[in-house]
Amino acid sequence: MAEARAPLESPGLPGWIQATPFALVFLLFFVLPLCFVITVSFWDYNDYEMIPAFTSRSYVESFEGCLTQLPDLCTMLKTYVSTAKFCAIVWILTLFIGFTVAYFLAFYVRSATTQMVLFLVCTIPFWTSNVIRMISWIPLLGRNGLVNQVLMSLHIVNAPVEWLLYSQFSVALAFVHLFTFFMVAPIFNSMMRIDRRLIEAAYDSGASTWQMLTNIIIPLSKPGIAIGSIFVVTIVMGDFITFSEMGGGQIASAGKVIATRLSALQFPPAAASAVILLVATMVIITVLNRIVDIRREL
């Protein structure tokens, strides 16, 4: 019998030394700024300066009147409910479109080269700025835009449709256009890892396409769905440019509240709003992670 080989010792530096650069970057560019934001959120302020004195004034003012206005919501809660509503709408639409595109690429395109080419085609919009892609909808959806001209020329409407631009519709449309790829990429990656023998076995057992989809593909694609959902939710929750430009400044959002307070040089209230937004986003991510344990599934 051949002699048993001695286990090879792992060459190089210890793991903790290799992880040190990443840990330092994480501490310097995430943990430390976050600590500063939390600290400033508890400072006092006036019209022209921040006062480093501990107070919960910024948090109290953010939700002032919430208890006295029940069952109606205060302005801040209405803003967060509105932001959460857009998150839900955009999440549903991007999930449906992203899953459909990923499913087509993974199971209907046989050639790996063609799959990669079509996948790269999906990235073409990212060759330009998000702002440029967003405002490109304005000439199409405006009162005198292409869509209204076509509708009127076909006598579908007698007057320009007003709600196409600077409305909730245009905001949701812009979000779906901007962030659908963040759903396509992780779901496609999960689908490509599915063992094709499971699909063949399901068909051989007489399973319909719907049964195969609900019992095999969707459950095995849950990690990609969860990762894509986290991407979309976190981006939409913190966005304020899309709400401002496509909503015409008429739609409130949590990110817009922070931007408005920063422009007014009210840094403690802006920091408090950022902390509240971070907590709300982390709650959503925690719920998603409870549904799908991403670390275990990957």
Structural domains of the chain, ranges and CATH numbers in brackets? 70-297 (1.10.3720.10)
* pLDDT reading at 99 higher than 90: yes
- HSE value, Cβ hemisphere, 13 Å, CA-based, for 135: 8
Percent of the chain with pLDDT over 70: 90
Q: Work out the end-to-end distance of the chain between its first and last CA atoms, rounded to an integer number of angstroms.
A: 39
* pLDDT reading at 215 higher than 50: yes
Query: Residue 8's pLDDT band (boundaries 50, 70, 90)?
Result: very low
Residue type, 187: I
Phi, psi for 266 (deg, rounded to 5): -100, 80
> Residue 43: in which H helix or E strand, if any?
strand 43-45
Query: Residue 294's pLDDT band (boundaries 50, 70, 90)?
Result: low
Instruction: Tell me how far apart the alpha carbons of residues 113 and 132 are, in angstroms, rounded to a whole number.
Output: 30
Higher pLDDT, 55 or 294: 55
Instruction: Tell me how far apart the alpha carbons of residues 193 and 220 are, in angstroms, rounded to a whole number.
Output: 9
pLDDT of 211: 87
pLDDT of 285: 82
Instruction: Tell me how far apart the alpha carbons of residues 217 and 106 are, in angstroms, rounded to a whole number.
Output: 11
Contact call for residues 256 and 171 (beta carbons, < 8 A): no
pLDDT of 38: 92
Helix, strand or coil for residue 147?
A: helix
* pLDDT reading at 116 higher than 90: no
pLDDT of 1: 44
Give the single-character DSSP code of 46.
-
For residue 33, is the peptide bond before it cis, meaning its omega torsion is within 30 degrees of 0? no
Instruction: Tell me how far apart the alpha carbons of residues 194 and 217 are, in angstroms, rounded to a whole number.
Output: 8
pLDDT of 66: 67
Higher pLDDT, 32 or 145: 32
Residue type, 229: S
Percent of the chain with pLDDT over 90: 17
Q: What is the mean pLDDT of residues 80-99?
A: 91
Average pLDDT value for the chain: 84
Give every CB contact of residue 98 below 8 A, 6+ residues apart in sequence. 180, 181, 182, 183, 184, 187, 228
Give the single-character DSSP code of 216.
I
Residue whose structure tokens are 């068909």: 203
Helix, strand, coil shares of the chain as percentages rounded to 5?
70, 5, 25
Q: What is the mean pLDDT of residues 216-238?
A: 89
* pLDDT reading at 39 higher than 90: yes
Q: What is the mean pLDDT of residues 74-79?
A: 78
Q: What is the mean pLDDT of residues 118-139?
A: 83
Q: What is the mean pLDDT of residues 173-202?
A: 89
Contact call for residues 151 and 157 (beta carbons, < 8 A): yes
Query: Residue 160's pLDDT band (boundaries 50, 70, 90)?
Result: confident
